[in-house]
Structure 1
Amino acid sequence: MPKAEAGSTKWVANKMKSKGLQRLRWWCEPCQKQCRDANGFKCHVQSEVHVRQMAAVGEDPKKYISNYSKDFQADFVNLLRTAHGEKFISANRFYNEYIRDKEHVHMNATKWSSLLEFTKHLGREGICHVKEDEKDGLMIAWRDSSAAAVTRRNEIAELEAAEARSGAGEDKMLKKMAKRAQEEAEAKKAIEAKRAAQAATQQVTPPAERVSPTIGASPMDEKVDALVNKQQESEEPKAPVKLSFGLKAKAAPTNKPGLGQMKSQSIFKRKKDDASEPKLAKKVKL
């Protein structure tokens, strides 16, 4: 039966029937023909066009399969790069996105028999990042292998390593501070215990002279004794210190009466006494 002409009623009806995804098993890659059922695919395989096309492919099948595989991988990775970048996505979900285009290269024409093998191949070759998830199964993500991306990843790795080293240094410093605080708390408890013991002994017996630490004493006990002696010395009462600034009281002169011994004198009397004093006569030269 001849093929329907483009734009005819039969051609439009066929396009409406073939709308959407069809079975991959009924797709003929050499002829670029999609059949709707098994009977249609059987009739297509027995047709003269298919036999002639398969004869051309049979001359060098490896070449055709290699070309189809390269085209499929290039389209698959390119769509993964543009659609999702370096974000992880389920392999099955992304394959459904890829086959929405009916003109894509189908997997049954490639050297991979399943999506699982193709995904493992991408992971082994370093083309994509592949990991396994309990919920979504295999997850894939595009891997940027350009020089700029490699340099950026190295810089990020160096920064993370520096942050890890600084974090380790901070943890070490915090441990040292905690250890020092614990030692100080233990020393303080030991001092308080020794004070309590000394107070108890002082109530029963008179205070004894300070005894130097014994030879067999531990360094911790020696430190505690030194701290106790130092605090006792600081607690001993000291004589008050007299401060002198070098100022001495001046003695009153003997020939002058003091402030308390002075007698009040009237202004008029003082003026009169001044007037009673004899005035000196001026000498006149002859």
Structure 2
Amino acid sequence: MGKAEVGTTKWVANQQRSKGLQRLRWWCEPCSKQCKDANGFKCHVQSETHVRQMQVVGEDPRKYINNFSNDFQRDFVSLLRTSHGEKWISANRFYNEYIRDKEHVHMNSTKWSSLTEFTKQLGREGICHVKEDEKDGLMIAWRDTSVAAVTRRNEIAELEAAEARSGAGEDKMLKKMAKRAQEEAEAKKVIEAKRAAAAASMQKEDTTPPADGATLSESAVPTEDKKADSPVEQNKEEPKVESAPIKLSFGLKAKAIPPNKAGLGQMKSQSIFKRKKDDTLEQKPVKKVKL
């Protein structure tokens, strides 16, 4: 029984019946035929069409395997680029999106035995970015290797490096300013603490009651003055020894005062007015008395 030609009624009926995915084990890649069950797959394998196709593949199987592998990789990467771009996605989840197409190239006809091996090879060749996540397992993202994309990435890297350098300088300056402010604040705290302690000590001294027998004026005197004027210390002081008078002699003899001349200490003070009056009296003419 031959295969229905494309566009015929039988071909349309077969397409409608084969909606959705079928079992992969009943798929024949050389013939691109999907069977519904094990009996249908057995009948297909024994058919003359499948036998002739397998004879052609058997002449150079490596060539067909490489072709299937290249087609699988091309379609896989193309769908990844158009659907997700450079965003990260789980490899297993994306493979489920890829196999939704019924006409896709199946992995059992390629040189890769598992999806993990295929994903790791994409990462080694630099076609995609691959990383391993604890939750989702292998993650995959498309890598844009075009000249424009490489130039754009280089420019972005240069800008980030420049920002990092300028940011490092600003961070260094900010750290210095913060350190200086902290030192000034600590010094200010120390000064305030000293002032508070001094004020507290002065207040304590002012509020202390005077001792017995001490007057109010004595209690108001500072402690240093009290210590200096305290009677206990005065009693403890040793008696002062009077020193002998020191005579100064310059080798000059005292001038003797004449006996008939009064000294400076013996002179009588005379009034200026009285002396003036006497002078005027002396100037008056003396009357001559006739005898």
Distance 1:102 1:195, change over 3 A: closer
Counterpart in the other structure of 2:257: none
Which consecutive residues of structure 2, in runs of 5 or more, have no partner in the other structure? 203-220, 226-291
* CA–CA separation in structure 2 for the residues paired with 1:203 and 1:43: 123
CA deviations over 1:156-193 (Å, ceiling 9, x no partner): 12222222233332332222122212222233334445
Q: Amino acid of the residue matched to residue 61 of structure 1?
A: P
- Could you tell me how far 1:50 is from its partner in structure 2? 1.1
* CA–CA separation in structure 1 for the residues paired with 2:197 and 2:15: 104
- Could you tell me how far 1:101 is from its partner in structure 2? 2.3
1:185 aligns with 2:204: no
Q: Amino acid of the residue matched to residue 181 of structure 1?
A: A
Counterpart in the other structure of 1:165: 165
**TM-score between the two structures when normalised by the length of structure 1:** 0.64
Q: Amino acid of the residue matched to residue 72 of structure 1?
A: F
Counterpart in the other structure of 1:28: 28
- Could you tell me how far 1:10 is from its partner in structure 2? 4.5
Counterpart in the other structure of 1:142: 142
Counterpart in the other structure of 1:156: 156
The counterpart of 1:205, out of the listed 224, 247, 258, is 224
Distance 1:177 1:39, change over 3 A: same
Distance 1:191 1:45, change over 3 A: same
Q: Amino acid of the residue matched to residue 129 of structure 2?
A: H
* CA–CA separation in structure 2 for the residues paired with 1:78 and 1:197: 80
Tell me the secondary structure at the aligned position of residue 65 of structure 1. helix
- Could you tell me how far 1:110 is from its partner in structure 2? 0.7
* CA–CA separation in structure 2 for the residues paired with 1:46 and 1:113: 26
* CA–CA separation in structure 1 for the residues paired with 2:185 and 2:131: 52
Identity level (%): 84
Counterpart in the other structure of 2:58: 58
* CA–CA separation in structure 2 for the residues paired with 1:10 and 1:191: 102
Distance 1:6 1:185, change over 3 A: closer
Counterpart in the other structure of 1:125: 125
Aligned length: 206
- Could you tell me how far 1:128 is from its partner in structure 2? 0.5
Tell me the secondary structure at the aligned position of residue 63 of structure 1. helix
Counterpart in the other structure of 2:70: 70
Distance 1:6 1:74, change over 3 A: closer
- Could you tell me how far 1:114 is from its partner in structure 2? 1.6
* CA–CA separation in structure 2 for the residues paired with 1:62 and 1:122: 21
Counterpart in the other structure of 1:174: 174
How does 1:250-261 map onto structure 2 within 5 Å?
none
- Could you tell me how far 1:204 is from its partner in structure 2? 3.2
- Could you tell me how far 1:197 is from its partner in structure 2? 7.0
**TM-score between the two structures when normalised by the length of structure 2:** 0.63
The structure that has the greater radius of gyration is 2
Distance 1:9 1:178, change over 3 A: closer
- Could you tell me how far 1:125 is from its partner in structure 2? 0.9
* CA–CA separation in structure 2 for the residues paired with 1:61 and 1:79: 27
Counterpart in the other structure of 2:240: none
CA deviations over 1:112-160 (Å, ceiling 9, x no partner): 1121111111111110011223333222111001122112111212222
* CA–CA separation in structure 1 for the residues paired with 2:173 and 2:190: 26
* CA–CA separation in structure 2 for the residues paired with 1:6 and 1:162: 62
* CA–CA separation in structure 1 for the residues paired with 2:77 and 2:18: 27
Distance 1:169 1:52, change over 3 A: same
Which deviates the most, 122-131 or 183-192? 183-192
Which deviates the most, 165-174 or 52-61? 165-174
* CA–CA separation in structure 2 for the residues paired with 1:104 and 1:29: 10
CA deviations over 1:69-119 (Å, ceiling 9, x no partner): 111111111111112111112222222222222222221111011211111
Tell me the secondary structure at the aligned position of residue 140 of structure 2. strand
Tell me the secondary structure at the aligned position of residue 177 of structure 2. helix
